């Protein structure tokens, strides 16, 4: 693992951390039990197989 040669200043650390942004999940419309729902695209197979509860309970 790389080891820094010197301490990073507080200003540089906070500036670097401020650039990070979470991206919202891409939602896809699917029909389950006669209801249309918006679910994240990567979870569509799990909902269709019944591994995830569509009501979220």
Each residue's pLDDT, cut to its tens digit, for the chain (57 residues) gives: 888 899 989 999 899 888 888 899 999 999 988 889 999 999 999 999 989 888 865
Answer yes or no: are the C-beta atoms of 36 and 20 closer than 8 Å: no
pLDDT the model gives residue 4: 86
Does the model's pTM come out above 0.75?
A: no
Listed in order, strand segments (DSSP E) in 1-57 are 27-32, 35-40
Burial grade of 12 (CB within 10 A; 0-12, 13-18, 19 or more):
exposed
């Amino acid at each position: 693992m790389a080891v820094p040669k010197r301490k990073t200043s507080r200003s540089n650390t906070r500036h670097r951390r401020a650039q990070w942004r979470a991206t919202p999940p891409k939602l896809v419309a699917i029909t389950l039990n006669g209801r249309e729902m918006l679910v994240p695209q990567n979870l569509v197979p799990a909902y269709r197989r019944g591994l995830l509860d569509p009501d979220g309970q």
